[in-house]
């Protein structure tokens, strides 16, 4: 017989063999805890100026793996709701997820996804493959489709280091649409309101085989360009010392670049922009 910490017997659902998906477990036994499945009443839609939204996120591969980054701004209509939002999070040791869209739902989704991967590994005894992680996240996004159609969309970006991939392609990037469509991207990608400008900058700056510093600078340049043309994207805030979040995933695992490193790179970039406001030219 199994007992909980209070000395009482665990509910029957904890003792019954079932799925390795924590999300499916909640859906079967405590569906009210799944914020991604709550739909607004008929005829009700979310007002875009009343719900904080996260904006630009991006990822690119580099010599040792993959880099993922995001600006820090959240907006409500024409208002800045938050200046220091964290949009990039580790999902497990070799996977990271960033989000654009409705902040409250996105943060819940990230936390649920982290538990989903941990639960699978504990139940199955092995870690999920990177392709499996991408499909699992796609399924979770699909569950939010009802709310997405009412204006509460979440658009994540998934990156990971895949030791089973061919040499030189271990860093992988996956994007999603609001219906749970799954797309693997090559080299780089961006999501969010500033993504067209970020992708344009990355198209100019990306080159295979970049080292970590070069990749981080390319990401910061792309976020700067996005902030230059998209009011919902925040660039480096030198006065408040708020800088984009930049993280890398390599064979050694997930690492968020230390704040002093990100600050130094951001200040160097802003100084360079003083001489060349439109940013660096494409690499020859």
Query: Annotated active-site positions, please?
Result: 55
Query: What are the CA-CA distances from residue 268 to residues 87, 265, 273 (Å)?
Result: 23, 5, 9
Q: Which residues contact 122 (CB under 8 A, 6 or more apart)?
A: none
Give the span between the Cα atoms of 236 and 71, in whole angstroms: 8
Give the span between the Cα atoms of 77 and 100, in whole angstroms: 15
Contact predicate 248/88, CB 8 Å: no
Q: Count CB neighbours of 16 within 10 A.
A: 9
Take residue 281 and report the two structure tokens written for it: 């030219």
CA quadruple 145, 229, 104, 25: dihedral positive or negative? Answer: positive
Query: What are the CA-CA distances from residue 30 to residues 7, 39, 92, 115, 226 (Å)?
Result: 22, 16, 24, 15, 41
Q: Helix, strand, coil proportions of the chain in percent (round to 5)?
A: 35, 25, 40
């Amino acid at each position: 017989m199994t007992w909980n910490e209070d000395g009482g017997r665990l509910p029957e659902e904890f003792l019954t063999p079932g799925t390795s998906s924590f999300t499916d477990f909640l859906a079967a036994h405590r569906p009210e805890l799944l914020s991604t499945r709550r739909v607004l009443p008929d005829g009700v839609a979310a007002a875009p100026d009343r719900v904080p939204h996260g904006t630009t996120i991006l990822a690119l591969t580099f010599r040792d793996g993959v880099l993922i980054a995001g600006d820090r701004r959240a907006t409500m209509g024409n208002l800045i709701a938050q200046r220091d939002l964290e949009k990039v999070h580790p999902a497990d040791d070799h996977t990271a997820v960033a989000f654009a869209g409705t902040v409250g739902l996105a943060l819940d989704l990230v936390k649920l996804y982290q538990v989903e991967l941990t639960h699978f590994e504990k139940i199955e005894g092995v870690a999920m493959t990177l392709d499996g992680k991408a499909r699992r996240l796609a399924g979770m996004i699909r569950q939010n489709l009802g709310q997405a159609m009412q204006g509460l969309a979440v658009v994540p970006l998934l990156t990971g280091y895949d030791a089973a991939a061919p040499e030189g392609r271990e860093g992988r990037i996956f994007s999603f649409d609001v219906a749970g469509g799954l797309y693997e991207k090559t080299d780089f990608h961006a999501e969010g309101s500033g993504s067209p400008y970020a992708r344009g900058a990355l198209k100019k700056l990306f080159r295979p085989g970049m080292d970590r510093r070069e990749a981080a600078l390319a990401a910061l340049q792309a976020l700067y360009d996005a902030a230059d043309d998209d009011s919902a994207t925040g660039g480096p805030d030198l006065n408040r010392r708020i800088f984009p979040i930049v993280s890398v995933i390599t064979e050694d695992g997930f690492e968020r670049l230390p704040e002093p490193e990100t600050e130094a790179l951001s200040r160097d970039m802003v100084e360079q922009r003083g001489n060349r406001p439109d940013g660096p030219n494409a690499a020859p």
